[in-house]
Amino acid sequence: MSKVLLPALLLLLAFSVLTGIVYPLAVTGIASLCCARTAGGSLIVHGERLVGSALLAQPFDDPKYFWPRPSATTPQPYNGIGSTGSNLGPTNPALFDAVKARLATLQQADPGNTLPVPVELVTASGSGLDPHISPAAARYQLARVARARGIDPARLAAIVDAHTQPPQWGVLGEPRVNVLELNLALDAMR
């Protein structure tokens, strides 16, 4: 029995050190060297104050700001600790009710808007923390934000275009707008 148990325990110890200490430290070190900003959480500092991460959505509900996708995190929306999707299927009445309520909020905030509502403004992302919206979702909100800030809509559209990121490496994904970065750019216009 000891001939089998001793090598098994030694292998357990060796692989625990290798996969629990050496490998994570090596990956963290390589990531810090190759892509320090992303490895550090893509933190956004405005002035001398940390305002968030480019990787996590922030709650905005003031009409003068662009709004992100709804958050599915519970119990507190946009909380990175509770990252999860809503797990509501397309036939679930709770999803239908949530979408209906979000549509009502959008229509109440901008009653004259006749553009089609982009789906990401009424449905949460898989993580519930997606910091991006599509350019169509930003354009949907343009009139409301321009009116609330007293900005020419054409000037605001140019700012949205300047903050629209292309697909990664030109082929992966869709064009997207980081809501936090866009809203910080709007605040910096003053």
Task: Indicate the domain borders of the chain.
Answer: 1-40, 44-188
pLDDT digits over 164-180, tens only? 999 988 889 899 999 99
Does the pTM surpass 0.75? The reply is: yes
Which strand (E) or helix (H) includes residue 183? helix 179-188
CA distance 153 to 113: 14
Angle of CA points 188, 182, 64, to nearest 5°:
75
- Tell whether the model's pLDDT for residue 190 goes beyond 70: no
Q: 94: number of CA atoms within 13 Å, CB side? A: 5
Q: In degrees rounded to 5, what are phi and psi of residue 94?
A: -65, -40
Q: What is the pLDDT of residues 54-98, one digit of tens each?
A: 788 888 889 999 999 988 777 777 777 777 777 778 898 988 998
Confidence of residue 3 (pLDDT cuts 50, 70, 90): confident
Q: At what angle do helices 153-162 and 179-188 cross, to 10 degrees?
A: 130
Cα–Cα dist 58/165, whole Å? 18
Strand pairing partners for 52?
A: 44
pLDDT of residue 48: 84
